[in-house]
Every structure is written in C-alpha cells, then in structure tokens.
C-alpha cells in the first residue's frame, strides 16, 4: 500500500471521457492490495470497453498470468507478499513479452522508476489519480501499441516488396540469358535452313525474333548520322509498293517544310518505320488511303501514319507496343508481337516515343516523335544528305 490521503487534481479531470477511443477486445490485469484502487480501476476501464481482471498481490497476479493472456498490466509497486511490483513486472514480461506494463505509486523515486523501466514498464501513474487521468494513461499506451503494430505491418510490406523486386530482377536476368542463348544457338543454322527452304514468312518471323533478342539482351548501340525522315519514309513506301498495290491501296506522303533531319542510326530507324508501314498496310481496308505526314516543332520531328483499320480495342491501346501483344486473329508475326516491342525500344533508344490512337472513327493513327539535336535544328543541316 503506498497511497496518499490528499487528492491531487490533474489537468485531465475536466475532460470528457467520450473523446477517448474504445478498446473492446483488449484485456487488462489490475494488481493492487487496496480494494478501493482496484475497484476504481476496474469500473473506469470497463466503462471504456476493456475486459478487466483484478488481483491483490503479486503472487496472485503471476498465477493468473500463467493461465490467461492479457494485453496490459497495471500494477502497484509496493505490495505485501514475496513478489513486489518491480518483481512482478520482471516475471510478467518473461511470461508475455508483448504485454504493456504501467506501474502505480504514491512515493515515486528515481531508483524505483529506473528499476521498473529496466524490467519492461512503459509508463507510470502517480497516486492518487482521477479516473480521467487513468483513462488517458492507459489509452496513450494502447495508441503507442497500435502505432507499433502499424509500423511492423509497414516494415513487413516493405520487406515483401523488396523480395518481390529481387525476384523480378532474377526473372529479368533469366529472360535475358534465355534470349541471348536463343539468339546464339538459332541464328546461323536456322537462317541457312530458311534460305534453302525459301519460306519467306518464317524467315521474317525469325528475323524479328533475333532482332528483338539483340535489342533485349543488351543496350542498343546507335550509329549517329544525319537521317532525313522524309527520304527514309518515301524509300520504304516505294520498296513495299507491291504489297500496298496488291490491296489496291494508295499511300500519300507529305512533309511540312522544313523538317530537319534527326541524328540517329539509319538502319534501326529504317527497321522501325518499315514495321509501322507494314502495320498500316495490313490493317487498312482494301482500296483505302494510307496517309503519312511529317511535321516539326519545338525541336521535335513528328511522323503520323494513318490507316483505315483499328489496330487494337480502345481499352487495350496502351498495350499495343508491349512484347508478344496480339490483336486477336488479325495479328500475324509479320506485323505484331515482338516487332512492335522492337519499334518502341528503337525509338526509346533515340530519345523518342511511339503512340497509337484508335479513338477516331476513320481508323488508327500511329505517331512517332523524335528529338532533333541542336546541330540538326540549324538551317544548314536541313539540307544535309
């Protein structure tokens, strides 16, 4: 027993208990040799929704703790029997390390406080205390417990994300190794077989696959030369004349003046625009017009390729240039899948981008944007070969 006769007012006396949170599932063990203190604690805490059990000695409390689980222990320091408050704190933390402990005392000393805190107590109450102050101290400790659990959950989620990221990196390395081996093992023997068999469609598919392997297993190495997009596009249109004339298509090419050349790899840019042109030919309806327009503004060259067919459903437009994407039965290896992914990779390596818009009723519009370097934006560069 270590209570004082004088009632000490506290700052929380006038606060409404309704502002404090409820903890309906929390269990509290109150230990004090004074029946009045135990009863005040029990009634106050049960009113807040806690499940409360009481004990009058440290020995009795230990017996209860060995048989039942509690979230919170509220114990007096000076009690009769073989186990005082500090000893109870030590034993209780051994039985249930996760349990929060608050000590009560009417004669606080530095030595007592330090010993209790070393054994695992997290807070203390000075006797006499009001019900409102008791509620605040207990609630404060439960809020700290809730914050600690939330922090544990966040740490767990962070560890799970880090593990998932490492797994993803491992899968990407395995993919790169697979594509590299595929490229190495298939290129020469398979190309020789296809050359002898004359299967041009299969050859195109394998070329796309091997080109994609090249691009996906290492960074694209660019040759930097002045490339005139208008000449490149017109040459491609002429080279594919037999294909678009077979479908009775018309291809109209118009470039605004002036459109400066871009610095880039001529062969890779030719591969990218060839694939986009083949897409347009494939998806255009018979007898339609494919319109290719080039413009320049704000240091950027833009080429749009419009066809009369829809290359993907509106809700899947963002996936058009993903690897292995196909538009149902209309997609073939000549115009889809790895080739589209290769286009995006080539343009990205040049600092550019490619997008497709299928929202217009007239069909699909594919837009390529490429930056024009400072050198190529000069008037004299516009006439470069």
Helix (H) or strand (E) holding 315: none
Identify the residue whose tokens are 């217009």. Answer: 360
- Can you give the pLDDT at residue 43? 92
DSSP tag of 11: T
Please tell me the distance from the alpha carbon of residue 335 to that of residue 11, in angstroms, as a whole number: 77
Q: What is the DSSP secondary structure assignment for residue 258, as one 8-state letter? A: -
Angstrom distance (rounded) from CA 351 to CA 64:
71
Q: How far apart are CA 262 and CA 226, in angstroms?
A: 6
- Which residue spans within the chain are E strands per DSSP? 27-31, 51-55, 72-76, 100-105, 123-126, 225-227, 250-255, 262-264, 289-297, 300-307, 353-357, 364-371
Tell me the pTM.
0.44
Please report the pLDDT score of residue 331 as a whole number. Answer: 39
pLDDT computed for residue 251 by the predictor: 95
Low-confidence ranges of the chain (pLDDT < 70): 1-24, 108-110, 112-113, 175-221, 309-339, 359-362, 374-385
Contacts within 8 Å (CB) and 24+ apart, 60-64? 60/31, 61/29, 61/31, 61/88, 61/92, 62/88, 62/91, 62/92, 62/95, 64/29
> Rounded distance, CA 15 to CA 337, Å?
68
Quote the pLDDT of residue 377.
47
* 116: Cβ contacts below 8 Å, ≥ 6 apart: 77, 85, 86, 89, 103, 124
What is the spatial distance between Cα 117 and Cα 111, in angstroms, rounded to a whole number? Answer: 10
């Amino acid at each position: 027993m270590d209570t004082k006769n004088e009632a000490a007012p506290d700052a929380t006396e006038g606060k409404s208990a309704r502002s404090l949170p409820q903890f309906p599932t929390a269990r509290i063990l109150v230990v004090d040799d004074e029946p009045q203190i135990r009863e005040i604690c029990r009634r106050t805490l049960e009113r807040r929704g806690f499940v409360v059990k009481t004990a009058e000695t440290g020995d009795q409390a230990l017996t209860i703790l060995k048989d039942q689980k509690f979230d919170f222990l509220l114990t007096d320091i000076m009690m009769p029997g073989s186990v005082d408050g500090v000893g109870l704190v030590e034993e209780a933390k051994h039985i249930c390390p996760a349990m929060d402990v608050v000590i009560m005392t009417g004669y606080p000393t530095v030595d007592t406080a330090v010993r209790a805190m070393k054994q695992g107590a997290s807070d203390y109450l000075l006797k006499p205390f009001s019900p409102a102050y008791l509620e605040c101290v207990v609630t404060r400790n439960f809020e700290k417990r809730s914050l600690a659990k939330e922090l544990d959950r966040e740490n767990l989620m962070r560890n799970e994300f880090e593990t998932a990221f490492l797994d993803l990196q491992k899968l990407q390395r395995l993919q790169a190794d697979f594509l590299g081996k595929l490229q190495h093992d298939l290129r020469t023997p398979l190309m020789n077989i296809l050359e002898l068999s004359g299967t041009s469609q299969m050859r195109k598919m394998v070329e796309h696959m091997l080109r994609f392997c090249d691009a996906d297993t290492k960074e694209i190495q660019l040759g930097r030369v002045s490339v005139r997009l208008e000449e490149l596009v017109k040459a491609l249109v002429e080279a594919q004349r037999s294909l678009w004339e077979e479908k009775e298509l018309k291809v109209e090419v118009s470039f605004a003046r002036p459109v400066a050349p871009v610095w880039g790899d001529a062969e890779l840019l030719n591969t990218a625009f060839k694939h986009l042109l083949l897409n347009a030919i494939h998806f255009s309806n018979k007898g339609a017009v494919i319109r290719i327009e080039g413009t320049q503004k704000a240091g950027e060259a833009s080429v749009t390729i419009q066809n009369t067919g829809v290359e993907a459903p509106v809700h899947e437009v963002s996936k058009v240039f993903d690897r292995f994407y196909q538009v149902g039965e209309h997609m073939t290896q000549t115009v889809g899948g790895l080739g589209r992914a290769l286009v995006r990779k080539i343009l990205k390596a040049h600092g550019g981008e490619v997008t497709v818009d299928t929202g217009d009723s007239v069909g699909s519009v594919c837009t390529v944007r490429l930056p024009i370097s400072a050198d190529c934006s000069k008037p004299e560069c516009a006439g470069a070969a």
